[in-house]
Structure 1
């Protein structure tokens, strides 16, 4: 066949002119790296003595193959002198008696269209292979916060000796010839070995198995990275929560302590009248009650935090919600409030400790009962949505001002309509905290004088869902 000029064509075009044309795939940068690792591991595992032509953006695996001493000849190609310097520094071209491998760096014409193509060619009597990739996208070089487009490649693999020889011919046309360029590189003899005439099915099967192994390793590594990221996020969120809690706690106790000190000082005043002394005593009582609520709330929070061993436990909402709602129905009837629920059967199993979800629902229902007047209605509904289960608690109460919605989960925050001595202001803080610990979330929508809806979002257990 007539070989195209390297200045006017690229290796990809050459593979498409071959009969039959090579099939191509668009792959990610991760997959590209994964395939090269698998091929190197295959060469090492099968102890294949081979000549390697290599032009890739990374050469860590090539260095590993070199260290094994299996390659007879390595030709490292690049169009960038800086890359060649990095390569030379990594391999330290010195006389090395325990290595039989000869390494030859080759510089290609910078104007050549091979600049955006990468290849890995293996030549041996038992096995020959070509991995060819053409870069489709370039990484973003700007320093903005815009989303960077990932690198993708048009990828081709081939085990055809004739095509591989044709590819080598085009590569040689792009080599910058110097006094140090070996004569064998410019000759028609591409390899120290005779290339195989037929594919070795056992070797191809071994290569496939190596690719599968490499894919499994990459998946395991990705899982470890994902798990580590989740742990780091959990620790970061935990530190931020505790920092915020301590900050709010210091503010929460500073004013009552000041009031109590003032009241005690005035009680010791000889000029204080009986009515004034009683007023100061009432103030001390209120502040003591308030601090007692704060301590109780903090102890509840600590108690739930110590139940980390329950994380990962699962439950069915149809077994829990009816019982919780039924315990509140007598109190609702006393206040003239109707209360009901809807929980479909066979909802997906959710991941949340039962004691946590019980506390979450109780805290929300307590709020709904507190702020819903007689004649109102509270309704609990559970349903499956996308990859989670949602529980909505809707009331027809007084509602929450839009300016307060972002504050109601803050520790020790009490709304405008809340008596400072009626609660510690930690109920919804505990709700938010427990949901975040089990991978859930909570949303709030409300309109003044119309009511409020809390939406509890719980992660489902996928394995259970698939089994059902």
Structure 2
């Protein structure tokens, strides 16, 4: 009986030690898991912040998951550096193009104007000089639009929206386009509004101007162009409405494409970048653009700005 009792005690001790060992093992595994999770979290947070730096690690001391994540983040970091380098090169290229084309185009305009002022020049020759000046203006507008678009797409120009009233924007639009509308004998109205929205004044003026410019251009004398704003729960909508020639519904997806020009307006001055720029600028500010139109019954563009 004594021997059996001693054996039972020994078995009990062994089982207790085994249980304690299992418990200690579980604690160690748990600690290592927590430490691994913390290291992974630090790596991810560093990468998200854009501060991940590739270093030399002893892969034999890292977990398989940690090693895979490290290589993934390293590859992403290298790709980001390559993109930054390419963006910098594009920035230099665009600046060079802008600088190199500015002087020749300006000279073309100047020389053509001087030719037009020459009294000894006959009328046919003056007409040719006027055509040269017209084409120089067109080329200057095209180059300016392309450079502006390229800078925006490459992220060189940052659109910086901030919460502010839209009344200054509407006032600037009225002052800028009233003379052009009067010259074409159009009724041009801009309704004041005290709403606030998140927008970049310079770039949003550019976006809305492109729409207003088109409205005036494609509305016949005696027609009307109106600009007004409405407030919704999450957006402020700036509407540009006209009584112009209208747009076919089938063209709705096309008019926002770069360089697209409707066959109906091919004879008019333009390069087909304005509405593309408008959508890009508004979307970069968290907004969107819609259009409603019917051929021969005018057009309505709605530019939604986040609040």
2:172 corresponds to which residue? 323
Summarize the alignment of residues 77-226 of structure 1 with structure 2, pairs less than 5 Å apart.
95-96=21-22, 98-99=24-25
**Displacement after TM superposition at 1:351 (Å):** 1.4
Corresponding residue SS for 2:150:
helix
1:344/1:313 Cα in 2 relative to 1: closer, same or farther (>3 Å)?
Answer: closer
Corresponding residue SS for 1:307:
coil
Q: Does residue 257 of structure 2 align to residue 397 of structure 1?
A: no
**Displacement after TM superposition at 1:433 (Å):** 0.5
Corresponding residue SS for 1:366:
helix
1:420/1:449 Cα in 2 relative to 1: closer, same or farther (>3 Å)?
Answer: closer
1:362/1:312 Cα in 2 relative to 1: closer, same or farther (>3 Å)?
Answer: closer
Structure with more of its chain in strand, by fraction? 1
Q: Does residue 259 of structure 2 align to residue 333 of structure 1?
A: no
Distance 2:238 2:214 in 1: 16
1:421/1:300 Cα in 2 relative to 1: closer, same or farther (>3 Å)?
Answer: farther
**Displacement after TM superposition at 1:354 (Å):** 0.6
**Which deviations, in whole Å up to 9, do the C-alpha atoms of 1:233-291 show, x marking residues without a partner?**
xx9xxxxxxxxxxxxxxxxxxxxxxxxxxxxxxxxxxxxxxxxxxxxxxx999999876
Distance 1:287 1:321 in 2: 32
**Which deviations, in whole Å up to 9, do the C-alpha atoms of 1:73-92 show, x marking residues without a partner?**
xxxxxxxxxxxxxxxxxxxx
2:157 corresponds to which residue? 307
1:386/1:100 Cα in 2 relative to 1: closer, same or farther (>3 Å)?
Answer: closer
Partner residue of 1:451 out of 285, 289, 298: 298
**Displacement after TM superposition at 1:405 (Å):** 1.5
1:288/1:94 Cα in 2 relative to 1: closer, same or farther (>3 Å)?
Answer: farther
Distance 2:134 2:182 in 1: 30
Distance 2:172 2:23 in 1: 79
Distance 1:316 1:394 in 2: 21
Distance 1:419 1:439 in 2: 32
Contact 1:343 1:383 in 2 (8 A): no
Distance 2:23 2:178 in 1: 87
Unaligned segments of structure 2, at least 5 residues: 1-18, 28-44, 49-79, 81-130
Partner residue of 2:280 out of 401, 414, 433: 433
Alignment size in residue pairs: 190
1:298 corresponds to which residue? 146
2:126 corresponds to which residue? none
1:263 corresponds to which residue? none
Corresponding residue SS for 1:430:
helix
**Displacement after TM superposition at 1:297 (Å):** 1.5
Distance 1:338 1:284 in 2: 33
Unaligned segments of structure 1, at least 5 residues: 1-92, 102-220, 225-234, 236-282, 461-468
**Displacement after TM superposition at 1:428 (Å):** 0.4
Partner residue of 1:360 out of 207, 232, 254: 207
Structure with more of its chain in helix, by fraction? 2
**Which deviations, in whole Å up to 9, do the C-alpha atoms of 1:7-29 show, x marking residues without a partner?**
xxxxxxxxxxxxxxxxxxxxxxx
1:194 corresponds to which residue? none
RMSD: 3.5
**Which deviations, in whole Å up to 9, do the C-alpha atoms of 1:176-227 show, x marking residues without a partner?**
xxxxxxxxxxxxxxxxxxxxxxxxxxxxxxxxxxxxxxxxxxxxx9xx9xxx
2:104 corresponds to which residue? none
Distance 2:255 2:234 in 1: 27
1:449/1:285 Cα in 2 relative to 1: closer, same or farther (>3 Å)?
Answer: same
Distance 2:205 2:160 in 1: 14
1:343 corresponds to which residue? 192
1:417/1:293 Cα in 2 relative to 1: closer, same or farther (>3 Å)?
Answer: farther
Distance 1:313 1:319 in 2: 14
1:382/1:422 Cα in 2 relative to 1: closer, same or farther (>3 Å)?
Answer: same
**Displacement after TM superposition at 1:422 (Å):** 2.1
Contact 1:387 1:459 in 2 (8 A): yes
Distance 1:324 1:427 in 2: 16
Distance 2:140 2:267 in 1: 12
**Displacement after TM superposition at 1:293 (Å):** 4.6
1:39 corresponds to which residue? none
Larger C-alpha radius of gyration, 1 or 2?
1
